[in-house]
Amino acid sequence: MRLDEIWDGQAHEWTRFARDPLGDRTNLSFNLPRFLELVPAPGGRTLDLGCGEGRCGAALRRQGHVVIGTDASPAMVAAASESIEAIVSDGAALPFEAGAFDLVVAFMSLQDMDDLHGVVREAARVLERGGRFCFSVVHPINGAGTFEDGVFTIRGSYLEVRRIDALFEGRGYRINFAQLHRPLEDYARALAAAGFRIEALREPRHPDSEKWSRLPLFLHVRAVKR
């Protein structure tokens, strides 16, 4: 089953989890606020690429951004449409004119998309020259391994792209965090090939977790279209 099909099938469960302050609390209280620090101030139009249930787009809208979201999952778009304008679209084939936006954000969505290079090329196409592309993903080191008795262990290859199906069951939820692990170089190569220059890169340190204060949970990047 493709990644977009998996996420579409669990969109209702994900939306409950994502909007529950005690559900996806790491993203709500830590990752999203830190990501927003990297995002430029409101300008023209902002595209929320892989908008999911709409939390990032809604936060940007509250900050004054004119936001439109897009996601390959119809069920996710239905949830996002409760707070922002959103449409169903393949991230690698966006239905917008070239240069239609001055900002594209992808909050925790690129690892859930099969065609990274195609998606990044489309982000570049719909951005005006000098526009910014900001994204947050599961940090590649995080996706490569896991803690075993307090020791972070990588049993496979960090350098190889591979599918991860991480089942979370707890707090009344059951969600498959289906994603693709990619090394950091893959993201950098996709950006360079699409004509982006990396402007800022952050590995935010979790303030309340002993183990995740030693290793990064997330990767935040801001790139500018040359």
C-alpha–C-alpha distance, residues 26 and 139, integer Å: 14
C-alpha–C-alpha distance, residues 215 and 206, integer Å: 9
C-alpha–C-alpha distance, residues 206 and 189, integer Å: 27
At 140, phi and psi to the nearest 5?
A: -55, -35
**Where are the domains positioned within the chain?**
3-139+184-225
Summarize pLDDT for 34-79 with one digit per residue, the tens: 999 999 999 999 999 999 999 999 999 999 999 999 999 999 999 9
196 bridge partner residues: 225
Q: What proportion of the chain, given as a percentage, has pLDDT over 70? A: 100
Residue 165's nearest CA partner among 35, 3, 25 is 3
pLDDT at 199 > cutoff 90: yes
Identify the helix (H) or strand (E) that includes residue 189.
helix 184-193
> Strands (DSSP E) along the chain, which ranges?
46-49, 67-71, 85-88, 101-107, 127-138, 146-148, 151-153, 162-170, 173-181, 196-202, 218-225
Q: What proportion of the chain, given as a percentage, has pLDDT over 90? A: 91
Summarize pLDDT for 146-173 with one digit per residue, the tens: 999 889 999 999 999 999 999 999 888 9
Superfamily of domain 3-139+184-225: Vaccinia Virus protein VP39 (3.40.50.150)
pLDDT of residue 1: 82
pLDDT of residue 22: 87
